[in-house]
Amino acid sequence: MLRNRIALAALALFILIVIVSFGAPIYARDIAHADPFSSNISGTTTVNGKTVQVIQQGGGALGLGEIPIGPTWTSRYFLGADSQGRDVAARVLYGGRASLEIGIGSAVICCIAALILALIAGFYRRWVDSILSRLMDLIWAFPVYLLAISLATVLLTLQHPFINPSSLWIPTIIIAVVYVPYVYRPVRGQVLSVREKEYVEAATSQGASNFRLMFNEILPNVVTTVIVMLPLMIATTILTESALSFLSIGVQPPKASWGTIIDDGQALLYTRPWVAIAPGIMIVLTVLSLNILGDGVRDALDPRAKLRMKG
Amino acid sequence: MAVFVIRRLIGLIAVLFAITVMTFLIFFATPGVDPSRQLAGRNPQPAVVAAIKHQFGLDRPLPIRYLLMMKRLFVSRDLVSYGNQALKVVPAITSATPVTFSLVFGAAVIWVVLSILTGLLAVVFKGTIVDPLLMILALIGISMPVFWLGEVANLITQDRLHNTFLFHWVPPNGYTPLTANPWQWFLHLIIPWLTLSVLYIGFYARVLRANLLDVANEDYVRTARAKGLSERRVLLKHMLRTSMITFVSLFGLDFGVLVGGGAILTEVVFGLPGVGKLTYDSLVSLDLPVIMATVIYGAFFITIANALVDIVYARLDPRIRPA
């Protein structure tokens, strides 16, 4: 019972993070009164009744250079500004929206693609299965980050009128592709065993079409495996997205995600650490809630599962 | 056994070949990728583009280009970077490997020791508050992005607490080779080792705990207790030993992935000039040959490591060998 309650608390935390992140435009407009995507280098704000520059001169150990304003802990510049004078708190919320969209989107796409491929491979067997499984083995042979890096580099070098480098779809698809084998393998094994069950045989003898056999008879009996994996997959894809964005090959400017904000914050680490710390805390909370939730879902639906994901 | 080894080696060669083909296709056959344009700079003259195309063999048919690339990568080893033609790719990787190895090896020692300790403690204290507390800590460790943890570690040890007795010994980020000064090598790597190992301590502790609890109900554990062995002996000599099978096979895979380039984030954050950092530096300029070479290096390392693990396993456990 206690475990269930912890899992529910984790779910509540995750939903809260989603709501807050998707409320980013409201926060930026009504609370921070700032556009987190346009730079505001010469702007001013009010702290304790005094007007101060957003980018202050004479920061740093030698009193040279310029540093952005630190956390004011009030509605404007709650977490301070970044090197462009943009409101960090508003950016973290917008970044969260991008990270969540990519994380959830790629995990869902990955699971659906893996499910369909596994159904086809496990149902037709023979050469279809051989080809698909060998392809999956090949993807599996690459380290996840290196394959994602390869695909991202190539897609970013592409000069194609239909491909917009700052589209969130690019990291979403890349991350979905690299994790397909991790879902495909266990599901294919399940399809192979479910396929031999009596009810499938019964449906076959009634003259059910292959399509019907796959989607009406087999699919409902393997979909639990995928549902159990989904929260852990989202945790993994969010971590992967943040890593790719940190390496500057994930989300591209002007868009931002938690990973790109941490990357931006690296230059300000010793003067304005909150720029890098805040999005990291958001990642930890999100991934932690998903991991706890995933454990709970697994215990509830599939107590014997041995599968564990990690990021 | 010999048949198994030979079969595994043939499979290995097939996978290695497939890896090079796939990597080559991703980097040089994706429609729309034209490295020569990038090389020639802005508004290039057609003659310059053609010369560059010829120099890199980009005007040849695809299979020939593949063979040329593999020859320059493995036989003549004179593949050069697109961005900086003085940078020979293969020597750059070979000289970066010891750095990555130092990082991963030290982290591995830390994570094996600490995760076994954590897993055992959690099982010993099962039913008390210690067990769930350790497991929540482990879960937090798994949930932290390693590059962020590295930045926080930098913030604390290089800046905020650097002038206190706690961290005044931490040298600036960078690397000193083991052969040059072993003590400095050690000092430079302690914080990166700890940072890299956190995720694995959490993960391995959880896996080990689950395995220990699984075998706790096995007959041989009951027999060992019935023989009157001490609880400590049952735990260490009987339960831990069986549980280590999963642990060791996971370790082989993770060690391979990290040496093969998985440590890129840690290397970038701490400025360690390993293979990952080499990849990262070429990512900034989208330098395709260097990235391709590091990806092939990584995939090769992992595939070969996996094959070795399989063969060692078959040697230890005859049931794995196919009839």
Band (A102; pLDDT cuts 50, 70, 90): very high
Contacts of B23 in chain A (CB under 8 A): 150
Sorted by sequence, the CB contacts under 8 Å of residue B252 that are 6+ apart come out as: B305, B306, B309
Q: Which of B104, B142, B163, B173 to mutate to test the interface with A (most CBs of A within 10 A)?
A: B142
pLDDT of A15 above 90: yes
Contacts of B151 in chain A (CB under 8 A): 262, 265-266, 269, 276, 280
Q: Which amino acid is at B45?
A: Q
Q: Residue B319 class from Cβ within 10 Å (0-12 exposed, 13-18 middle, 19+ buried)?
A: exposed
Q: What is the share, in percent, of chain A residues with pLDDT greater than 70?
A: 89
Q: How much is the pLDDT for B87?
A: 76
Tell me the C-alpha to C-alpha distance, in Å, between residue B83 and each of A191, B31, B36, B38, B284: 48, 21, 11, 9, 11
H or E stretch covering A57: strand A55-57
Sorted by sequence, the CB contacts under 8 Å of residue A266 that are 6+ apart come out as: A276, B151
Q: Which residue has the higher pLDDT, A255 or B160?
A: A255
Q: How much is the pLDDT for B238?
A: 79
Query: Rounded mean pLDDT of B132-141?
Result: 89
Rounded CA separation A36/A26 (Å): 12
pLDDT of B69 above 50: yes
Q: What is the share, in percent, of chain A residues with pLDDT greater than 90?
A: 19
Residue position matching structure tokens 């868009």: A255
Q: How much is the pLDDT for A311?
A: 34
Check CB contact of A154 with chain B, cutoff 8 Å. Answer: yes
Rounded CA separation B252/B98 (Å): 18
pLDDT digits (tens, 9 = 90+) for A32-77: 777 777 777 677 777 766 777 777 766 555 555 677 777 777 777 7
Q: How much is the pLDDT for B42?
A: 58
Tell me the C-alpha to C-alpha distance, in Å, between residue B115 and each of A66, B103, B259: 45, 18, 20
CB pairs under 8 A between A and B: 147
Q: Which of A134, A154, A270, A277 to mutate to test the interface with B (most CBs of B within 10 A)?
A: A154
pLDDT of B155 above 60: yes
> Phi-psi category of B19—alpha, beta or left, where left has phi over 0 and alpha has psi -120 to 50?
alpha
Q: How much is the pLDDT for B56?
A: 67
**Residues B237 and B248 sit within 8 Å (Cβ to Cβ):** no
Q: How much is the pLDDT for A194?
A: 82
Rounded CA separation B101/B98 (Å): 5
Residue position matching structure tokens 């080499």: B278
**Residues A292 and B139 sit within 8 Å (Cβ to Cβ):** yes
Closest residue in chain B to residue A148, using alpha carbons only:
B295
Q: How many angstroms separate the CA of residue B135 from the nearest CA in chain A?
A: 11
Band (B266; pLDDT cuts 50, 70, 90): very high
Q: In angstroms, how far is CA B268 from the centroid of its own chain?
A: 14
Q: How much is the pLDDT for B310?
A: 76
pLDDT of A22 above 70: yes
Query: Rounded mean pLDDT of B162-191?
Result: 82
Of A142, A163, A291, the CB nearest to B142: A291
Q: Which three-class secondary structure string do you get for B8-71?
A: HHHHHHHHHHHHHHHHHHHHHCCCCCCHHHHHHCCCCCHHHHHHHHHHCCCCCCHHHHHHHHHH
What's chain A's average pLDDT?
81
Check CB contact of A160 with chain B, cutoff 8 Å. Answer: yes
Q: How much is the pLDDT for B184?
A: 86
CB contact under 8 A, B22 and A138: yes
- Six-digit token string for B264: 């890129």
Check CB contact of A158 with chain B, cutoff 8 Å. Answer: yes
Of B22, B139, B279, the CB nearest to A292: B139
**Pairing between β-strand A55-57 and β-strand A66-68 as defined by DSSP bridges:** antiparallel
Highest mean pLDDT among B79-93, B101-115, B173-187, B205-219: B101-115
Check CB contact of B127 with chain A, cutoff 8 Å. Answer: no
CB contact under 8 A, B147 and A143: no
Torsion over CA of A207, A210, A211 and A215, rounded to 10 degrees?
Answer: 90
Q: How many angstroms separate the CA of residue B227 from the nearest CA in chain A?
A: 30
Q: How many angstroms separate the CA of residue A157 from the nearest CA in chain B?
A: 6
Sorted by sequence, the CB contacts under 8 Å of residue B57 that are 6+ apart come out as: B64, B65, B68, B69
Least confident of A36-40, A120-124, A169-173, A295-299: A36-40
What's chain B's average pLDDT?
82
From B145, B200, B195, select the one nearest A286 (Cα to Cα): B145
Residue A44, strand partner residues: A53
Q: How much is the pLDDT for B38?
A: 59
- Six-digit token string for A25: 């435009």
Q: Residue A38 class from Cβ within 10 Å (0-12 exposed, 13-18 middle, 19+ buried)?
A: exposed
> Phi-psi category of A153—alpha, beta or left, where left has phi over 0 and alpha has psi -120 to 50?
alpha
Rounded CA separation A137/A165 (Å): 29
Check CB contact of A282 with chain B, cutoff 8 Å. Answer: no
Q: Residue A140 class from Cβ within 10 Å (0-12 exposed, 13-18 middle, 19+ buried)?
A: buried
pLDDT of B323 above 50: no
Q: How many angstroms separate the CA of residue A241 from the nearest CA in chain B?
A: 10
Rounded CA separation A305/A147 (Å): 28
Q: Which residue has the higher pLDDT, A275 or B57?
A: A275
pLDDT digits (tens, 9 = 90+) for A191-231: 888 888 888 788 888 877 778 787 888 888 888 888 888 99
Q: How much is the pLDDT for A283?
A: 93
pLDDT of B246 above 80: no
Band (A14; pLDDT cuts 50, 70, 90): very high
Q: What is the share, in percent, of chain B residues with pLDDT greater than 70?
A: 90
In angstroms and rounded to an integer, the radius of gyration of the C-alpha atoms of chain A is: 23
Residue position matching structure tokens 């790629």: A106
pLDDT of A269 above 60: yes
